[in-house]
Structure 1
Amino acid sequence: MKINPKFFIGLGLLLIIGYFLQDLVLSDSQYIIGVKKKRQEKDDSFRRVNGSPLSQAQRDTFKNLPYYAPDRAYRLDAQYQGFTLRDTLRMATTGPQPEAYLRWGQATFILNKQEYKLTLYRRAFGTDTTLFIPFADRTNGLATYGGGRYLDAAVPAPDDTEITLDFNHAYNPYCAYNNSFVCPLPPAENRLNVEIPAGEKAFHE
């Protein structure tokens, strides 16, 4: 029986598609496992006496922090533009004194078919090795902390034009758990008119 060559071509295409679909599923699975592992590590650190923002009374009843389910759709590849002139911003805080940050660059990303921008900062006086991205979105005061949340990102190389913003790792400032802490507030340029249902939710004792 003569077999049409198109059969083999079709079979080959199906095998290739199946391979890539399997790789994609496994990749997503590994990503989700990684996000959950980091969250577990953070929960464990909050139970310890040293370094936890929780009081002893809070730690006695603490189980875990509330999060949105990991969603790779909120791990975004953004266009990065480093600022040539890195001026200093006196960022408002929950306390009486602002804190000094350098305006390091800008990330432009697409979410829900709309373009958004976030300014990336670096502490003016310190040894931080990552960029600091305080942001507010339309979930604040509802599902997430009313004062906004934070993201960290690796400092791009001078010739880099892209940066990854992973909102699954968005986290609350310490003042969301304990009023004795003073925390920077997201500047007006980082207040997004969109819901970002990813990362850490509001903390309720």
Structure 2
Amino acid sequence: RRLILSLMIGLVSTQQAAFQTKFENIFSTYLGSNIVKVFNLVAGDVLKFLPYPNMTSHLESELIGFVPPSKYLGAMGMLRGYNNCVQKAGSDIGKAAAGFGTAMSQKAQPNYKKIVDKAKTMKANGKTKEEIRNEGFKIAYSLLTKTFVQSMINSCMTKMTKAEFECLHNDIVKNVLKTTLYNTTYNAAIG
């Protein structure tokens, strides 16, 4: 029994590690090793079958704790710069964040739901939490593609004004996302 459990934990670690490598290769390395904390939080919420809005609220409430201490001041500077930029553009951070949040939700929520639905089915079929986690990371790995990331960027363009998007890009995104892999030139028509 211990051998099976050890193998399952190793497999879970392998699936999570594969997803992490892909995430870091095509999305971001900004959080460094703290990204594991983000993955664990989301995986825990999947295991609780939390709806997407509850998971994102949970994630937002813990967000500052994910920023490595060495990047904390820089992160605060990015947020200040973003806030100043959107204000100069005649908007406000709440409106711009709402546009960003709507765009992310439209793209990420269906994928999150696929994983939660699979988790529910697996639990109903008597699968262990480790097996469910493993499958969740396998699904997440298959869903995380450059095309998906570009679709999230495009969606932001359609939900934000040009000024809001450019503030987001210049003050935050270019410092966090691997922007050289994507088209981040504003075009509201491409969403």
Q: When the two structures are superposed, what TM-score results if normalisation uses the length of structure 2? A: 0.30
Higher relative contact order (CA 8 A, sep 6+): 2
Q: When the two structures are superposed, what TM-score results if normalisation uses the length of structure 1? A: 0.28
Bigger share in helix: 2
